[in-house]
Structures are given as C-alpha cells and as structure tokens.
Structure 1
Amino acid sequence: MNNVHMASAPQGHGRSPLRFVQTLVVSVLLVVLSGCASSLSRVETWEGDPASAADAATLEAPGAIQVARVNGRTMSNFLVDDLALDYALLPGEAEVVFSYKTIWAKSGVVENDEAKVHVYTSKPQVVRFKAEPGQVYRFQFEKPTTKAEAERVTESFQASVVTAGGQPVAESAEWQPSESVSRTPIPQADAVVGDQGSALETLKSVWATASEEEKKAFLRWAFE
C-alpha cells in the first residue's frame, strides 16, 4: 500500500482564507469607524461656509444632554442617543435648545413585554449666551447617583453653561418655542424690495429655513 502524505499548512498560515478575510474586513471597519467618530464628534451648527467659522467656539455636550436646536436650526438625530458631541458655534449670540435624559436599570425580575430600564427625560430647556471666538464651553448640572435622585432632578432640571475654566455664562430655562429667535440670515434680494418676484423668492427662502413652530405662527398670523 502506498503511503499517502498529507501536505501540512505552512507555519503561521493555519487560519482558513474565510477567517482571514473576516479579520481583514473587521480591521478595515474599525479604522473607518474611528475616523468617522472623530468627524462626528464635532457638529457644525450653521449652513454654508461663513467667514466666521474659522473662529468658531465649541460647546461640549455629554451623552446625557441631547441638543435639539441651535440658533433655530434642527440638529441631526444620531443612532446612539447617549453620544457625547461637540457643537461648533459661530461667534455671537447663541441659542441652544436641549433636553436631559438619564437611564437606570430596573431591579428585580422584568417581564418579557416590560422595559428593562427606567428612562427619565426633562422638558426641553433653552440656554442663551454670547459665544466668544475660539472659546470652549460645557454644560454643568447635577448628576444623580440614585434612581430617586434621577427622577427628582429630571422633574426640575436646570443646567449651566460654563467656560473651560468653570466660569458660568448662562443658566437654562424651560423652552418656550414662541420666544425663540432664529439667526438664519435672510437672503438679500437681487432686485428692489418692492419687486414682486424678489419678494416672493425671499419669502420662499425664509419659509425653507423656518421651524415648524415658526411656520404655524406665520400661518395663524396670515389667516387671522
């Protein structure tokens, strides 16, 4: 009987080709995601390319603070709710609308159709302050250590905005949509203001940048 000798794999190449490809794909994804994370961590709060963007200030928001609007512009909703983000602010008056959200695990046995955590969310808050060029700001607020504290804090939540050195610049208050002022610039018409065509184009541009609350308020005014 002839002896059959099975060729052995070279040292260091015992993994299957499929396993090698899987490892390679995971490695590439990790590199891509790490690059995306660095770009997503800083959110620009304006449209276009304003000259003052080079001197933008930064507002650091931890995962518990969920920013909804900055200067009338709606911020993107990310897949991860508790993602800490830095918001780039144009120098000048800033209006930031946000809410506080904290999650606590339930103790004991949880039924299949029951949520496994307690979620506490504050009413929308607004903070207004003057953003200085290149300055770094952050939120400062009471951090609960128990579920009972979390419930209490959420019901009467208030936060401060402070500089990197801890100097307070503003206190938050409950947000009233009717009091918000948008800093979105109104495009200049090419023709005189009295021109029907340019006025219509201006109205269209303003309508496109208005919030839902502002649109409702305008329609109520227009049809009264």
Structure 2
Amino acid sequence: MNASDRTPADLLRSALAADPGRPLITFYDDATGERVELSVATFANWVAKTANLLQGELSAAPGDRLALLVPAHWQTAVWLLACSSVGVTVEIGGDPADADLVVAGPDTLEAGLACSGERIALSLAPLGRRFPVAPVGYADYAVEVPSQGDRFAPFVPVDPDAPALVVDGTERSGAQLVEQARAEAATLGLGPGSRLLSGLGYGDWQGLAAGLYAPLAAGGSVVLCRNLDQLGAEGLEKRVESERVTHSAL
C-alpha cells in the first residue's frame, strides 16, 4: 500500500493498481453453505457501483450519516468502502431515526423504517439475490445496483479528516481508520500476501479491523466467515488448509 493513502477508499485504489486479480475477500456463510470469492477488481467494481448508487440515485453527500444495520458480509464490506468513496459517515448499528440513510438486512427491516431518508434493503441471500418482493419502504439493493456505472468519481473530494466511521461509540476519520488499520495489521502480523480467517462480527472495531480494514491495509486478504460455529473443529481445520490461511481471528 502507498504511504500517501489517507482513506480506506485510497487503500482500495492502491490495491487495485498493485494487483487487481488477487483475492481480497472470500466469504462463507456456514448456515447456508454459501462461498463467494471476490478479487480486488471484482470488489472494487461492486464498490464503484454502490458509490454511484449512493451519490447519484440516493443523493448522498459528504457529511451525511448512514446507519448500517447488517452483519459481517461481503456486501457489508462493499458498503463500508462505498461510503468512504463518497464521504458518507457510517454508523455501525446506528439509530436509523438520526440517520440520513439506512441500509438494513432481513432481520433489521422494521427497525430501519425509523429512518426518514432513503432506505436500502439487502437480502443477504446467496449470490446476492434480490428479495422475491421488495420490502415495503425500501429499495432492493440487488435491483438497484447492477445498472450503476463501473467507474466512480466523487462530486467533491473526500476530506480524510472528516468523520468516516462510528463504532463502539467512537468516531474515526478516514485518516484515523487507515492509521489504525495499519497498526492492527502490524499487531496481527499481516503483510503482503497474508490470508486472515476471521470469524468475528462487524459490530465492533476488532471485528471490522480483522474482517476488512487490516488485511486491506497490509496488502493481504480475508476469509470472512459467518456462522462459523456451525462448521466444527474438523471443518475449520480443513478450511484453513484449503484456503491457505496464514492468520486467524476467532
């Protein structure tokens, strides 16, 4: 990664320039058997489309606040980087009533209705499938995002020192996120080519760092596992071997 990177979106751009074909996120849901692998290029494409949706269709702008009410998932990671690209502040598990936008999953749709702004629903179904019928009061992400542009440019430059993420009651700027992600990567012993298996949720900084930010900052990749407790010890051992895992956060 480049020393000049000041936001998570900068880290992604550097990763794309360095090696677009390498894996970045491999996602498992052990309740459904789903496995999705996204290269840097594929992940960046999803981020660009989502950022265009945010900026162009939802009229989001720097300083807006988005309540993110979805669990650790590859699409959650996409939204985190898309918001960084636009300059929108993400509040993990934030109060929808105080947010300008909300992104909700199947289990948080009712809570998300408290948001008076734009509402996006993620089905979290395998292969990113849409809802059979869009939830009332929401736009279906899987319906809205495919038609968005594959390249993104913000209307105004993102300020690295502006608030970017709120989690555990702590607000971090984009620059602080990059600094802390690099520090977490060093603590975890990550470097270029490292492959970290994370069974942690995205509800706190530790889970976000292990499940996205630290591997991205280090030039590594993450095997992000949801419902890992259903896999069992033998299954976990096989996954570590098959995915060539070098580090774990469980």
Q: TM-score, normalised by structure 2?
A: 0.20
Higher relative contact order (CA 8 A, sep 6+): 2
Instruction: Name which one, 1 or 2, has greater alpha-carbon Rg.
Output: 1
Which protein has the bigger helix share? 2
Q: TM-score, normalised by structure 1?
A: 0.22
